[in-house]
Amino acid sequence: MVDNNTLAREWMMKQGFTQIWLKQHTMHLDYVWSHNASPDENILHIEKYAAQDIWNLFDGLAIKDGTVWFLAIGVVFKKVKELEQFLEDKKGMCVIMIRVNKKAIKVPVITSKEWRV
């Protein structure tokens, strides 16, 4: 994971990202509280869950051209469905999923997928 993050960070810097922050994974989890109104909007539903990543989706944050981007870094494009469901009712978010392929011939290959909502 550290190698993937290093390769992704170097690639991001070449792409113009600055102020890159990657959340450290530890055995201690963060707690997230989700406040959702029920369909009749009179009852507030509060859900609490433990997360290793930011909302269990993102590995960190970075800034590019004054815009904050949420980062997902890995060896495969995982959790795409969950990420797209998370973004359905969001506005003003930029997300980049970065795939690091270290098994590529000679030089690692990095590919990315972006969402802007």
Between 28-37, 46-55, 58-67, the lowest mean confidence (pLDDT) is in 28-37
The predicted model scores a pTM of 0.79
pLDDT computed for residue 109 by the predictor: 83
At residue 43, the pLDDT reads: 73
Percentages (nearest 5) of helix, strand, coil residues in the chain: 20, 45, 35
46, part of any domain: no
Report if residue 51 sits inside a domain: no
Domain count, the chain: 1
88-111 pLDDT, tens digit per residue, is 989 999 999 999 887 776 677 888
| Tokens 């800034």 -> residue | 63
The whole-chain average pLDDT of the chain stands at: 85
CATH number (domain holding residue 95):
3.40.1350
Residue 21 lies in a domain: yes
Write b or e for each residue in 62-85: b if 16 or more Cβ atoms lie within 10 A of its Cβ, otherwise e: bebeeeebbbbbbeeeebeeebee
The residue range of the domain holding 88 is: 2-25+56-116
Q: Is residue 38 part of a domain?
A: no
For residue 45, being part of any structural domain is answered with no
